[in-house]
């Protein structure tokens, strides 16, 4: 006999009384295949049918449940073939009109005299009206499930009705909840919070006696999900560590020490700690899997360079993956400057430029006493064609720009190399513990000394003349500026500024200072020329799209003007602002927006308050939700039924601690 036949919770829902093959296939659309899946399908919300709202007490815009008999019902035919089905419910306090457009068949289900519960939003008070409310007719003999109690309301799908699902759930909870094995009781016993047993939690989450129970029950079930997920992470890691031996990168400091000596600055305490973590990992017996987090400008690159040198002095080559050509070029410049004097070949490998094979300065200097190379590239590194011998370390910059798959593909170019991923987009705590839960984490939470302050100003388009005047003054004083617009080209919409259309205007505003142009659709050579000109100071202002968002490091730039700023995401605005404040001078970030949505306005407020990156990341998660925030990086994350990645940080942390303790004994 198979596992599912012996396990009542694992049996397919089709085996339940009242659920046929047809219904079972529809339930599968909700992810419900087995009895236990059904129990994990939690209510979307609850209705207190002990205490419905008085129809009279609802004001326009209020949402509520009202119960009473239908006193009139019928379909009205309207012009243009439209129809309106309406019934009027009278709960003794007032009459409530419930209307459905173009659903004339509703007439069959709701008849005068039926007792109904409706839930919806009052769209008008004269007469009291709800459009397309949820409605349910009370039937004899079912009082204890659908009426006179706190009633669960579930997410549905085509062919699955609320009453049917609720009744099926009632029977299943009754029959199966007590069979759900509780988590290892020892695991939660030591914990100071009081946790429900799982069977109790399932009962209370579906059919609570009072609303106060539901959150306790939800938390218990969410905790269970997080515990399982953390166990999975740990298991995966254990298997990986048992299977894989690390490439020996203990090093001997013969490259790291001269690098640090020549660097021209000392590491901050936070950089030292991060480098300490990395050096320990690389000397260890398991391949490093480490996330290096640090706000923009905190100095991650220099720490990554130490890691690279450690691999190279141990006899291994290094790959560095960057999200854009501009950033790859910049890394190429920086790493060449740092590493070539030590005799290390540094190559670039992007779609547009591949320098492997051209002898670099290092090879010319060193003849044939060759050290393993460092190769920096974009997505081109991930492609089939790219191969490099003896990879000891893969560095992935701005991790959030890549998916889990790309990371894996790069890593598979070697034999389980050490992996260092870097991100300047602070990861909200919940995601740090889940999505990135398989990585150890070092945080650089200290800025290098001698940085000028960054001031943020929110302005309307009317004040642009003054803003341009201010920027001209700054340029005259020797500073440089970024001017950022959301679009490359005006695509006819007209409301968003586009760099190609605005170039002449910006040149005029900033004359006599030279203005350069940078956006993603330029040829590589043109991009390089723009960045090089800006670096050299020949170009005073760079008119750009958000391509400059990641990583560009030019310390004399102190002005960031962003127009249509309300159209950018929080993380993006934060990254853009991170391009300034890198030198000793004071910097100014000017966010210009006209009419903005509430959300847009809120983002600008958050920016102006100048909160740190972590608080900002959490605000961003709250506004956009994990799906949009993570994009493709999300793959690999389970679909939590009760757990909430926005609010459940404490539960996630708790699950992690509990599982760590469980595995330690």
For residue 302, state whether it binds ligand ADP (rule: CB under 6 A). Answer: yes
Per CB under 5 A, the list member of 208, 287, 551, 581 interacting with Mg ion is 551
Number of H helices, E strands in the chain: 22, 21
Q: Are strands 150-153 and 128-131 parallel, antiparallel or unpaired?
A: unpaired
Complex with ligand ADP: residue 391 or 557, whichever CB lies closer: 557
267 binds ligand ADP (CB under 6 A): yes
Q: Distance between CA atoms of 651 and 643, rounded to whole angstroms?
A: 9
List the one residue from 206, 300, 567, 588 that touches ligand ADP (CB under 6 A). 300
Helix/strand/coil for 642: coil
Q: What is each CA distance from 299 to 21, 277, 324, in whole angstroms?
A: 60, 16, 19
The Cα 315–Cα 390 span in angstroms is 8
CA distances to 243, 292, 387 from 397, rounded to whole Å, are 27, 9, 19
Please say which residue, 284 or 448, places its beta carbon nearer to ligand ADP. 448
Least distance to ligand ADP from the beta carbon of 551, Å? 6
- 553 lies in the binding site for ligand ADP (CB under 6 A): yes
Give the shortest CB-621-to-ligand ADP separation in angstroms.
Answer: 21
Q: Is 323 in the site for Mg ion (CB under 5 A)?
A: no
Q: Does 446 bind ligand ADP (CB under 6 A)?
A: no
Residue among 67 and 322 whose Cβ is closer to Mg ion:
322
Chosen residue from 301, 350, 430, 509 binding ligand ADP by CB under 6 A: 301
Residue 70 CB coordination number (10 Å): 20
Cα separation, 506 vs 160, whole angstroms: 59
The owner of tokens 């999200």 is 323
Residue 268 binds ligand ADP, judged by CB under 6 A: yes
Specify the DSSP class assigned to residue 341. Answer: G
Quote the tokens at residue 546. 């958000």
222: phi then psi, degrees, rounded to nearest 5: -65, -45
Q: Which three-class secondary structure state does DSSP give residue 128?
A: strand
C-beta of residue 306 within 8 angstroms of C-beta of residue 456 = no
Q: How many residues bind ligand ADP (CB under 6 A)?
A: 17
CB nearer ligand ADP, residue 230 or residue 268: 268
Q: Compare residues 151 and 576 and give the one whose CB is closer to ligand ADP.
A: 576
Q: Tell me which residue has its CB nearest to Mg ion.
A: 551
| Residue 297 contacts ligand ADP per CB under 6 A | yes
Q: Is 582 in the site for ligand ADP (CB under 6 A)?
A: yes
Nearer to Mg ion, 428 or 551 (CB): 551
**Nearer to Mg ion by C-beta: 64 or 551?**
551
For residue 653, what are its two tokens? Answer: 């942390």
CB of 519 to ligand ADP, least distance (A): 22
β-strand partners of 470: none
The Cα–Cα gap between 236 and 540 comes to 52
Binding status of residue 152 toward Mg ion by CB under 5 A: no
Closest CA to 375 of 326, 310, 308, 432: 308
The interface mask with ligand ADP, positions 403-442, x = CB under 6 A, is ---------------------x------------------
Q: How far is the CB of 371 from ligand ADP (least distance, A)?
A: 22
Q: Report the C-alpha gap between 641 and 390 in whole angstroms.
A: 43
CB of 582 to ligand ADP, least distance (A): 6
If the CB atoms of residues 213 and 546 are measured against ligand ADP, the closer one turns out to be: 546
Closest chain position to ligand ADP (CB): 299
Toward ligand ADP, which CB reaches closer, 271 or 378? 271
Do 569 and 538 meet the contact criterion of CB atoms below 8 Å apart?
no
> CA-CA-CA-CA torsion for 619, 545, 319, 250, nearest 10 degrees?
-40
Q: Does position 299 bind Mg ion by CB under 5 A?
A: no
In the 8-state DSSP scheme, what is residue 178? G
Nearer to ligand ADP, 417 or 613 (CB): 613
Q: Which of Mg ion, ligand ADP, none sits in contact with 417, Cβ below 5 to 8 A by type? A: none
Q: Concatenated DSSP letters for 307-333?
A: HHHHHHHTT-EEEEE-SSHHHHHHHHH
CB atoms within 10 A of CB 226: 27
Segment interacting with ligand ADP, rule: CB under 6 A, options 296-304, 430-438, 458-466, 540-548? 296-304
Exactly one of 135, 168, 296, 488 binds ligand ADP (CB under 6 A); that residue is 296
Can you tell me which of 294, 323, 392, 437 binds ligand ADP, judged by CB under 6 A?
Answer: 294
Look-up: residue for tokens 């759900």?
180
Residue closer to ligand ADP by CB (options 133, 299) is 299
Binding site for Mg ion (CB under 5 A): 551
Binding site for ligand ADP (CB under 6 A): 265, 267-268, 271, 294, 296-302, 424, 448, 553, 555, 582
């Amino acid at each position: 006999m198979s596992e599912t036949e012996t396990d009542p919770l694992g049996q397919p829902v089709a085996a339940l009384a009242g659920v046929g093959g047809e219904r079972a296939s529809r339930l599968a659309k909700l992810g419900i295949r087995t009895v236990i899946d059904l129990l994990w399908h939690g209510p979307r919300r609850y209705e207190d049918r002990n205490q419905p709202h008085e129809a009279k007490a609802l004001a326009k815009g209020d949402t509520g449940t009202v119960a009473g008999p239908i006193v009139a019902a019928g379909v009205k035919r309207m012009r243009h073939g439209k129809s309106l089905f309406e019934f009027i419910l009278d709960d003794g306090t007032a009459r409530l009109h419930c209307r459905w457009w173009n659903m004339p068949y509703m007439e069959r289900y709701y008849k005068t005299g039926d007792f109904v519960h409706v839930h919806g939003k009052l769209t008008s008070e004269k007469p009291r009206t709800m459009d397309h409310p949820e409605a349910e007719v009370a039937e004899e003999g079912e009082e204890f499930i659908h009426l006179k109690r706190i009633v669960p309301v579930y997410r549905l799908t085509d062919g699955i009705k609320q009453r049917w699902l609720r009744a099926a759930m009632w029977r299943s909870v009754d029959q199966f909840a007590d069979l759900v094995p509780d988590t290892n009781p020892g695991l939660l016993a030591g914990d100071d919070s009081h946790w429900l047993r799982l069977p109790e939690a399932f009962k209370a989450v579906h059919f609570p006696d009072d609303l106060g129970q539901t959150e306790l029950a939800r938390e218990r079930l969410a905790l269970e999900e997080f515990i399982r997920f953390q166990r999975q992470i740990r298991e995966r890691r254990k298997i990986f560590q048992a299977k894989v031996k690390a490439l020996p990168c203990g090093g001997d400091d013969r490259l790291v020490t001269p690098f640090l000596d020549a660097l021209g600055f000392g590491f901050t305490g936070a950089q030292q700690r991060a480098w300490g973590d990395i050096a320990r990992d690389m000397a260890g017996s398991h391949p490093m899997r480490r996330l290096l987090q640090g706000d923009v400008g905190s100095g991650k690159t220099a720490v990554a360079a130490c890691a690279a040198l450690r691999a190279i002095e141990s006899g291994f080559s290094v790959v560095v993956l960057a999200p854009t050509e501009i950033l790859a070029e910049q890394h190429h410049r920086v790493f060449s400057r740092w590493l070539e004097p030590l005799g290390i070949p540094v190559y670039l490998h992007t779609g547009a430029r591949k320098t492997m094979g051209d002898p670099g300065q290092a090879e010319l200097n060193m003849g044939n006493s060759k050290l393993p190379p460092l190769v920096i590239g974009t997505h081109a590194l991930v492609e089939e064609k790219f191969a490099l011998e003896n990879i000891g370390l893969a560095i992935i910059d701005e991790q959030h720009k890549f998916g889990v798959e790309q990371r894996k593909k790069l890593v598979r170019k070697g034999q389980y190399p050490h992996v260092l991923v870097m991100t300047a987009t602070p990861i909200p705590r919940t995601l740090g513990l889940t999505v990135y839960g398989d990585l150890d984490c070092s945080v650089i939470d200290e800025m290098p000394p001698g940085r000028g302050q960054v001031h943020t100003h929110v302005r309307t388009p009317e004040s642009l003349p003054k803003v341009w005047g201010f920027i001209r003054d700054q340029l005259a004083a020797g500073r440089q500026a970024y001017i950022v617009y959301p679009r490359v080209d005006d695509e006819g919409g007209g409301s968003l500024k586009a760099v190609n259309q605005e170039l002449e205007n910006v040149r005029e505003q900033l004359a006599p200072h030279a203005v350069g142009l940078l956006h993603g659709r330029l040829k590589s050579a043109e991009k390089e020329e723009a960045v090089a000109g800006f670096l050299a100071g020949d170009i005073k202002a760079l008119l750009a799209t958000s391509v400059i968002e990641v990583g560009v490091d030019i310390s004399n730039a102190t002005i960031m003007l962003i127009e249509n700023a309300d159209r950018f995401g929080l993380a993006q605005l934060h990254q853009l602002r991170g391009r300034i404040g890198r030198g000793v001078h004071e910097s100014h970030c000017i966010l210009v927006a006209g009419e903005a949505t509430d959300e847009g306005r809120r983002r600008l407020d958050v920016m102006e308050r100048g909160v740190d990156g972590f608080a900002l990341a959490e605000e961003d998660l709250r506004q956009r939700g994990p799906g949009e925030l993570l994009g493709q990086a999300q793959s690999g994350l389970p679909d939590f039924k009760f757990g909430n990645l926005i609010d459940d940080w404490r539960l996630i942390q708790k699950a992690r601690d509990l599982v760590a303790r469980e595995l330690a004994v």
